[in-house]
Structure 1
Amino acid sequence: MRGFARGEKGRRCVAAVALVAVLAVAACGSTEQDIRDHLDENYELVDKSDSYATYRSDDPPEHVGARLSSVARPGRNHREGDELYMGYEKLMVRIQQKPATGGSEIEVTNARDGYSRWGPTIIPIWGTFGGGYSSAFSGGGPGFGK
């Protein structure tokens, strides 16, 4: 009886499986890094300190939010007036309308800092930060009581 990896056909199969595995790992990337890279490449950096950064855009919040969602789908979304909040596993984004210019201010930070900054707005909707964003992570989309 021949082993799976014996012969030319078996070696090709093993090589193909290995290539698919390498490509899958490379494609996974870090959602948080993908979001930060997108912001760095497409918007004007205003301020940066540790994990917190502020960007400026001439586009309205809806447009910025749609572009960020196309980079990585947030687990949580919330709109409060002229502000959009997007929650990822380890990252939070707030996009605020700038009435004078029609553009947006985009803030990005880690999840713990996001809860500290925007807690009064998001805690009634998303719940509290329990020491690990994933421990309370309830999935996507808008909605009350998630």
Structure 2
Amino acid sequence: MFNAVRQASRTATLVRAARRPAATASSLRTFPSVRTLVTKRYTQDHEAVVFDDSTGLGTVTLTDYAQSSLGDVVFVELPTVGSVVEQGDQIGAVESVKAASDIYAPVSGTVKEINENLNSQPGLLNKSPEGDGWLCKIEVSKAEEVTELMTEDAYKEHCQS
């Protein structure tokens, strides 16, 4: 009995395969190999930038160290979309129950997007400063500035001193 079931199953599979058109070179897609390099670097003022070389965008965040030093964040001021910034320019501010602190541009470029969620949920900076609490995205105009910033190891050493 099992042989009959197996035979019927094989026959059905062969019939379905025969109905399918054969794959041709024109029906197959080939995708070129894309290599993307994502680099994360830090400033001495406790900002971080995650730079994606395929898009040219740098996502600016505060570091976890900065948010823990600030305490509960109650207000975030962000830059204006379209504004052109130079590395080191003040691009915003963060107010917490402990203190207020300026935010500086880690790289030069044009602000392409801001995290609108921070207007109604400034506490995102405490919950996920380098994730959902990102500040803005800058189209980087001088990619060499990214490599001049601190690596993760250098930043950890900076925080310990």
TM range (shorter): under 0.3
Q: TM-score, normalised by structure 1?
A: 0.27
Length-normalised TM-score, structure 2: 0.25
